[in-house]
Amino acid sequence: MNIPVLPKSNLYRFKSIVGLVLICLSICLNFYLMVDYNQQSIRINAVIESLKTEIESSLTQLDDIKNKVIPLCKLNNCRCVDEKGVLIEPVFEKGPPLITKKQKEMDELFRTYTHIESNVKQHELHIKQKEMLIADYAKFVYPYFFALVVILFVGLFFFLSGLRDWKNKIQRHQDILLRKHVKNYQSDT
């Protein structure tokens, strides 16, 4: 009774091809992950830079408003800057004055100042959120990156061991048989 023998050369070739597929797959997916991560980082960093630019222009506006309000406060006998130099709602020392153009202008400047100041705080919060988003995305990508590197090495192992086994166990014997046939053929002619 003849028991069929599996063709080992096909098994070794299959092992090499699987290794080659794993190598190609891990390289392509790693490349995709890195490109995607870089695109996300560039997009988020652009948003952060635009927010920082807005903050800088807002801080300049705040300084300008502060420089306009302080003389108006002195004219109206009120205090509008605290110990830290931050603009506060006007505190009148001798009771509120009669509503005048200067008072209305000072109130309008103060409302603008508080609005711009709240925008600056919101922008700073958005910057922190965007920086955390980049860090979270990096934490998401890096495990996949390392898993794909492991798959790359597994594929490399399969590829090289399949080629080595095919060469040592199959091809070497076929080369010996081929040499014998060539010698027999040359001796016959």
Q: Is 95 a member of any domain?
A: yes
Q: Is 100 a member of any domain?
A: yes
- The answer on pLDDT for 129 being more than 90 is yes
Q: Is 105 a member of any domain?
A: yes
Q: Is 97 a member of any domain?
A: yes
> Residue type at 139?
K
Output the pTM of the full model.
0.64
The tally of domains found in the chain comes to 1
The pLDDT of residue 123 is 93
| C-alpha to C-alpha distances, 117 to 51, 81, 131, nearest whole angstrom | 14, 15, 21
* Rounded distance between C-alpha atoms, residue 62 and residue 113, angstroms: 6
> Residue type at 129?
Q
Q: Is 41 a member of any domain?
A: yes
Nearest Cα neighbor of 58 from 14, 122, 2, 102 is 122
* Rounded distance between C-alpha atoms, residue 111 and residue 60, angstroms: 16
The pLDDT of residue 108 is 84
Q: Is 52 a member of any domain?
A: yes
Q: Return the number of other C-beta atoms located less than 10 Å from residue 34's C-beta.
A: 12
Q: Is 184 a member of any domain?
A: no
Question: 87-92 and 78-81 as β-strands: parallel, antiparallel, unpaired?
Answer: antiparallel
Reported as a single tens digit per residue, the pLDDT across 61-110 is 888 888 887 777 777 667 676 666 666 666 555 555 555 666 777 778 88
Q: Is 37 a member of any domain?
A: yes
Reported as a single tens digit per residue, the pLDDT across 3-41 is 555 556 678 888 888 999 999 999 999 999 999 999 999
Domain of residue 45 covers 23-141
Reported as a single tens digit per residue, the pLDDT across 40-51 is 999 999 999 999
- The answer on pLDDT for 168 being more than 70 is yes
